[in-house]
Amino acid sequence: MAKGLLAAIALACAAAPAMAGEPITLSAMGSFHVGGRLAEIAGQPVREVTFTPGGVPARVDPNGQYLVESMYVQFHVPNPQRGRLPLLMWHGGGLSGVTWESTPDGREGFQQWFLRRGWPVYVSDAVERGRSGFPPPQLIQGEPLFLTVNNPFERFRIGQGQGSWSMDEAARRVLPGSQFPTDTASYLNFVRQVVPRWTTTDAAIIAAYTALIDRVGEAVVMVHSQAGQFGWKVAQARPDKVKALVLLEPAGIGDPGRIEALRGVPQLLVYGDFIAQDSRWPSIRRIGVEFAMKAKAAGADVTVVDLPERGITGNSHMLMMDRNNEAVAQVVQDWLASKGLWQ
Amino acid sequence: MAKGLLAAIALACAAAPAMAGEPITLSAMGSFHVGGRLAEIAGQPVREVTFTPGGVPARVDPNGQYLVESMYVQFHVPNPQRGRLPLLMWHGGGLSGVTWESTPDGREGFQQWFLRRGWPVYVSDAVERGRSGFPPPQLIQGEPLFLTVNNPFERFRIGQGQGSWSMDEAARRVLPGSQFPTDTASYLNFVRQVVPRWTTTDAAIIAAYTALIDRVGEAVVMVHSQAGQFGWKVAQARPDKVKALVLLEPAGIGDPGRIEALRGVPQLLVYGDFIAQDSRWPSIRRIGVEFAMKAKAAGADVTVVDLPERGITGNSHMLMMDRNNEAVAQVVQDWLASKGLWQ
């Protein structure tokens, strides 16, 4: 084939980022685990376990070494690549990396949206969530917490607060103008994404995310809700490697005593709708913004976006899966591009 | 651009399936959950929970409805597609869908290998494993089981049986000729993939896999170890939809009373090395092969492959992540192609 034709083909294959429905080309995909530590259990009885009916019993000795507190990470690297750095997506409490994948009503999520714009996307499950597994009770403090079907509906600014959920779609009190897919099938698909979580494992989660940064190197970190704490604290631990921090409704903050560490880390905070009328979200937002303003006072480049002020309305706490999630993603993308992180 | 040039470009872009290291083009990727049921808890105290340090306390009422026993599924659909049906990969006990992804030493796993040959690949986490989450203790029988670091090494035909593991690489007694990556870093990466599992949830897992088949439709099902039971039983429940069953070292069997249901389902059983000398694997293999032979006697197309007889040696129970995993995948691929399921 003529050299000119080959060049034309290469150009045509590497066309503009594909939109939803068009193919995605990956130069790499896969998964790995990071972090964790060895821990010991002693003095427990040995059991004989038949793992499957009709199977052959096996001796299971619970005493010995366990590898706990490691973290699962899955990556997809698009071709062509336009994001200058890997984009790490850290989910919120009671959830897993599934947060970023397809939405509960089957549309594309942030994972695919940013892949299509040429970002290498790394999605992880925090320690003791999802594919990261959880340790034996002897090696973890406290008990896991489980959420009832109504809990996220009433707490995540989907419904009108406590008592607003009903299995009967007609009796369900959705916030007027909500962008969350609140038909029964979609909402229950979201409930299926909920996983148990402990409230005692923050230090282990921060250690694992720090190990992830050390493995991946310079990166953009996007966090949601509980992971606000993790994003800020890991940026404080590795300010040379976290080149930008996108905080979607952060529900926790960094270490106020180390605010100086954040002065070189550009930070974008994004908040959805219905906050003023909520019982808890005005405080959650205030705590997050106050922390970010301290970083700004220390010299950091901080932007706070309240989506309704940009004409983007109806967003719940789960704004990456709301019906207008593409408009939310575009706010993040425009900010990242404005910081020179996308070409 | 001239029409002829466009055609040449289209042809060049849709070239032969890419091998490891070359790009993969996907027409779709995403995830969803299937199955599950609503269940109730009553009579428990309401708690106030501060989810994150410095956060705003929330009321958590454990009483009410839970959605339990649903299952997480992730899919990647390659372009061009050459497998005639979706290829569903069901992992073994104590593990999750991560089994099929990158190997513990960082090579491509079966997920990518079959994607590169044009198979739409669906990887799931069984009920109560990984991203499928697990229910509150009131809504599940028994306790989860955890594995020590040495357990899979000694039980999965990697080391020389009980007592063969040592954290000291030099003192570790690996089976001579083993293809499993047994350097400390790789083996511990495999241990990181282990997740807790119950032994009381087979019925719920079978219900969820059946729901998956009902959603996806006609499919090829590839199972490993514990999922032998699930593959055979779901094929018995949906013999019109399971068009081929690949059983990698199945550790459980189907329902002997419904053997007739399997007569139209082509079945491939694959076993690795070191079986005769093991304390349990001769029995496990015999039980599986005897069940398959009953299906064959009822009219099923059954093939049993002992890899060493084909000159493929050194395979552990985790043959999809052994160093020669591509040779194992090729045995499966050739068999699927011979059944007219690949073009």
Q: How do residues B297-341 score in pLDDT, each as one tens digit? A: 999 999 999 999 999 999 999 999 999 999 999 999 999 999 999
- CB distance A180 to A158 below 8 Å: yes
Rounded Cα distance, B36 and B212, in Å: 11
Q: Is A273 on the interface with B (CB under 8 A)?
A: no
CB atoms within 10 A of CB A46: 9
Say whether residue B283 is in contact with chain A using an 8 A CB cutoff. yes
* Predicted local confidence at residue B294, as pLDDT: 98
Contact B131 A134 (CB under 8 A): no
CATH number at residue B79: 3.40.50.1820
Q: pLDDT tens-digit profile of A152-173? A: 999 999 999 999 999 999 999 9
How crowded is the C-beta side of A89, counted as CA atoms within 13 Å?
A: 26
List the one residue out of A71, A90, A72 whose CA is nearest residue A222. A90
Separation in Å, CA of B240 to nearest CA in chain A: 25
What whole-number distance in Å separates Cα of residue B227 and Cα of residue B124?
Answer: 12
Over residues A255-281, the mean pLDDT reads 97
In A164-223, the residues whose Cβ lies within 8 Å of chain B are: 167, 188-189, 191-196, 199, 202
Residues B295 and B201 in one domain: yes
CA–CA gap between residue B224 and residue B218 (Å, rounded)? 20
Contacts of B101 in chain A (CB under 8 A): 30-31, 74
Q: Per the domain annotation, does B311 fall within a domain?
A: yes
Residue-wise DSSP of B100-166: GSS-TTS---HHHHHHHTT--EEEEE-TTSGGG----GGGS-S--B---THHHHHHTTSBSSTT---
Is the residue at A4 inside a domain? no
pLDDT of amino acid A1: 38
Rounded CA-CA distance B343/B338 in Å is: 10
Residue A58: pLDDT band with limits 50, 70, 90: confident
CA–CA distance, B302 with B289 (Å, rounded to integer): 10
User: Is B178 among the domain residues?
Assistant: yes
Mean pLDDT, range A211-215, rounded to an integer: 98
pLDDT of residue B18: 55
B228 and B91 assigned to the same domain: yes
Residue B211 CA: distances (Å) to CA of A314, B36, B87, B205, B298: 33, 9, 15, 10, 26
What stretches of chain A adopt beta strand conformation (E)? 24-41, 47-49, 58-60, 64-78, 87-90, 121-125, 219-224, 242-248, 267-271, 302-306
Domain count, chain A: 1
Contact (CB<8Å) A192/B67: yes
Residue B17 lies in a domain: no
Domain boundary among B193, B213, B228: B193
Rg (CA), chain B: 22
The closest alpha carbon to A233, from A268, A267, A209, belongs to A209
Q: What are the C-alpha distances in Å from B271 to residues A18, B123, B315?
A: 42, 21, 8
Cβ–Cβ contact B42 with A under 8 A: no
Pair (B208, B272) in one structural domain: yes
CA-based nearest distance A311→chain B, Å:
28
CB–CB contact A66 B23 (8 Å):
no
Contact A146 B135 (CB under 8 A): yes
Q: Are residues B120 and B224 in the same domain?
A: yes
Residue A12's pLDDT band (cuts 50, 70, 90): very low
Per-residue pLDDT tens digits for A132-152:
999 999 999 989 999 999 999
Report the percentage of chain B scoring pLDDT > 90. 89
Look at residue A119 and tell me whether its pLDDT is greater than 60.
yes
Residue B311 sits in which domain range? 27-42+61-139+195-338
Give whole-number Cα distances, B85 to A195, B89, B243, B269, B338, in Å: 31, 13, 9, 19, 14
User: DSSP letter at A45?
Assistant: P
In a domain, B5, yes or no: no
pLDDT of B12: 44
Evaluate whether A133 touches A83 at the Cβ level (below 8 Å).
no
Which residues in B lie closer than 8 A to residue A54 (C-beta atoms)? Answer: 252-253, 287
Do B186 and B257 belong together in one domain?
no
A281, A157 contact by CB (below 8 A): yes
User: Does A17 have pLDDT greater than 70?
Assistant: no
Same domain, B206 and B329: yes
User: Does residue B259 sit in the same domain as residue B183?
Assistant: no
Q: Is A71 among the domain residues?
A: yes
Q: 3-class DSSP state for residue A291?
A: helix
pLDDT computed for residue B146 by the predictor: 95
What pLDDT digit, counting tens, does each position of B13-55 carry? Answer: 444 445 777 999 999 999 999 999 999 999 999 988 887 777 7
Same-domain pairing of B173 and B161 = yes
Residue found by looking up tokens 């685990």 in the block: A33
> Could you tell me if B82 and B110 lie in one domain?
yes
Share of chain B above pLDDT 70, in %: 95
Using a CB-CB distance cutoff of 8 angstroms, which residues of chain A are in contact with residue B50? 199
Structure tokens at B306: 């002992």
Task: Place A2 in a pLDDT band, splitting at 50, 70 and 90.
Answer: very low
| CA distance between the termini of chain B | 32
Alpha carbon B268 to chain centroid, angstroms: 15
- What pLDDT does B11 receive? 43
**B130 assigned to some structural domain:** yes
Are B256 and B128 in the same domain?
yes
Cα B212–B343–B26 angle (5° rounding)? 60
Q: How many contacts (CB atoms, under 8 Å) link A and B?
A: 225
Torsion of CA B309, B313, B318, B324, to 10 degrees: -120
Which of A21, A323, A101 shows the shortest CA–CA distance to B74? A101
B261 and B313: one domain?
Answer: yes
- Give me chain B's average pLDDT, please: 94
Secondary structure (DSSP) of B257-302: GGGGGGTTS-EEEEE-SS-TTSSSHHHHHHHHHHHHHHHHHTT--E
Contact with chain B for residue A252, Cβ under 8 A: yes
Dist CA A78 CA A76 (whole Å): 6
Q: Which of A197, A228, A292 is nearest to B55 (CA)?
A: A228
Does the structure show a pLDDT above 60 at A5?
A: no
Residue B18, domain member (yes or no) = no
CB A110, CB A144: distance < 8 Å: no
Confidence of residue A18 (pLDDT cuts 50, 70, 90): low
Q: Is the pLDDT of residue B218 over 90?
A: yes
Any CB–CB contact under 8 A between B92 and chain A? no
Judged by CB atoms closer than 8 Å, whether chains meet at A56 and B32 is answered as no
Per-residue pLDDT averaged across A77-92, rounded? 98
Nearest chain B residue to A138 by CA: give it.
Answer: B146
Tokens at A122, concatenated: 């790394």
Q: Which of A1, A31, A151 shows the shortest C-beta gap to B102?
A: A31
pTM: predicted TM-score of the whole model, two decimal places = 0.94
Give the closest-approach CA distance of B322 to chain A in angstroms.
16
Specify whether B258 is located in the same domain as B325. Answer: yes
What is the tens place of the pLDDT at every residue in B257-279? 999 999 999 999 999 999 999 99
- Rounded Cα distance between B110 and B92, Å, is 14
Q: Please check the confidence at residue B215 and state whether its pLDDT lies above 50.
A: yes
Q: Are A218 and A164 in contact (CB under 8 A)?
A: no
